């Protein structure tokens, strides 16, 4: 692939890794997710690695992705921290109607509240949820290294490319042309972040992001992870993802993509538990 002239890499002189971010596509999240049937994402690949049959049923529309209150808070937190207050206030409503007799807010399950929420035409956050989001945002922006990573860049940029023969897409939380790819996570406890990363396969996700971007700009970029706690004291931490672990994650991803191509060719979608296993640990 030829590199467009706008991509003039200046590694080593203290300036930008990428001079132009025009390769990033800007589109609403709904439009991005609507293209899931056309492009492989990191989450879809994670489904396939864990359970090819689950992946296939989701692709066929037989299983819908579950949405939880925690996901709403996560999306709203990303919007405030990465896209700014104007976008946050445009996309989310906060609070609810007040009962004139008691002076207290109506409960979220009351008819009055539901009528108010429906009239907003957008997701509604309770006062408690909004306070939580504000606390996490303040913590991230108060962290020296997190705020430096987010000082320059582009939020929620989409990249699409042919990766290992499969049409793929990623939606990057933050792209800093001077530092690389930045991902934002919320967690319960920073002390357990690296264990959470293994459970939720953050390394594989970020390795996929890096690989798809590299298909477009032909440059392997650094990757950073910002994590902030969802409870007091709302600690924030920053990790630069190690090249070795990203390399292992990329190799796992590439092996999984090869198996995916074979499953598609043969229309064979195993569960991974077809054979008898030996239970040999306590």
pLDDT, one tens digit per residue, over 82-137 is 999 999 999 999 988 888 888 888 787 788 888 888 899 999 998 899 999 999 99
Residue 4 has pLDDT above 60, yes or no: no
Whether CATH 3.90.320.10 fits 29-66+143-265: yes
pLDDT average, residue stretch 187-194: 96
Q: Using a pLDDT cut of 90, give the percent of the chain over it.
A: 79
Q: Please say whether the beta carbons of 237 and 224 come within 8 A.
A: no
DSSP 271: -
SS (H, E, C) 160-210: EEEECCEEEEEEEEEEECCCEEEEEEEECCHHHHHHHHHHCCHHHHHHHHH
Alpha helices (runs of H) in the chain, residue ranges in sequence order: 29-34, 42-50, 52-59, 69-78, 85-91, 111-120, 127-142, 144-149, 193-199, 202-217, 243-266
Structure tokens at 252: 């796992």
Residue 8 has pLDDT above 70, yes or no: no
pLDDT tens digit sequence for 252-278: 999 999 999 999 999 999 999 999 999
Q: Where are the domains of the chain?
A: 29-66+143-265
Q: Is the dihedral of CA 46, 132, 123, 183 positive or negative?
A: negative
pLDDT average, residue stretch 155-166: 97
Q: What are the CA-CA distances from residue 244 to residues 70, 104, 205 (Å)?
A: 32, 55, 15
Nearest to 48 by CA among 281, 237, 274, 268: 268
What's the mean per-residue pLDDT of the chain? 91
Residue 13 has pLDDT above 60, yes or no: no
pLDDT band at residue 14, thresholds of 50, 70 and 90? low
Residue 52 has pLDDT above 50, yes or no: yes
Residue of 127 and 5 predicted with greater confidence: 127
Confidence (pLDDT) at 260? 97
Residue 281 has pLDDT above 60, yes or no: yes
What gap in Å lies between CA 108 and CA 129, rounded to an integer? 13
Residue 245 has pLDDT above 60, yes or no: yes
Residue with tokens 């996901």: 71
Q: What contacts 165, CB < 8 A, 6 or more positions away?
A: 257, 261
Confidence (pLDDT) at 12? 40
Residue 228 has pLDDT above 90, yes or no: yes
What gap in Å lies between CA 72 and CA 248, rounded to an integer? 32
Query: What is the pTM assigned to this prediction?
Result: 0.89
Confidence (pLDDT) at 172? 98
DSSP 3-state of 22: coil
Confidence (pLDDT) at 103? 82
pLDDT tens digit sequence for 55-92: 999 999 999 888 787 899 999 999 999 999 999 999 99
Q: What contacts 186, CB < 8 A, 6 or more positions away?
A: 73, 74, 77, 136, 227, 228, 229, 230
pLDDT average, residue stretch 45-50: 96
Q: What contacts 118, CB < 8 A, 6 or more positions away?
A: none
């Amino acid at each position: 692939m030829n590199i467009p002239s706008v991509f003039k890499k200046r590694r080593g002189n203290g300036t930008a890794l990428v001079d132009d971010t025009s390769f990033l596509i800007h589109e609403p999240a709904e439009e991005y997710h609507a293209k899931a049937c056309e492009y492989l994402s990191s989450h879809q690949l994670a489904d396939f690695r864990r359970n090819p049959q689950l992946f296939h049923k989701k692709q066929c529309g037989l299983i819908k992705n579950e949405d939880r209150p925690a996901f709403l808070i996560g999306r709203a937190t990303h919007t405030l921290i990465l896209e700014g207050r104007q976008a946050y206030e445009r996309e989310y409503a906060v609070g609810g109607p007040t009962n004139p007799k008691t002076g207290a807010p109506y409960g979220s399950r009351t008819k009055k509240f539901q009528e108010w929420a429906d009239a907003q035409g957008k997701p509604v956050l309770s006062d408690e949820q909004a306070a939580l989001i504000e606390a996490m945002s303040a913590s991230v922006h108060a962290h020296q290294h997190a705020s430096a990573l987010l000082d320059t860049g582009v939020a929620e940029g989409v990249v699409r490319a042919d990766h290992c023969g499969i049409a793929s897409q990623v939606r990057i939380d933050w792209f800093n042309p001077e530092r690389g790819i930045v991902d934002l996570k919320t967690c319960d406890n920073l002390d357990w972040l690296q264990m959470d990363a293994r459970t939720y396969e953050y390394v594989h996700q970020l390795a996929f992001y890096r690989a798809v971007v590299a298909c477009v700009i032909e440059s392997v970029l650094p990757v950073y992870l910002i994590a902030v706690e969802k409870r007091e004291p709302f600690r924030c931490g920053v990790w630069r993802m190690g090249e070795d672990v990203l390399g292992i994650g990329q190799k796992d991803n590439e092996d999984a993509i090869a198996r995916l191509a074979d499953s598609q060719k043969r229309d064979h979608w195993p569960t991974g538990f077809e054979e008898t296993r030996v239970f040999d640990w306590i």
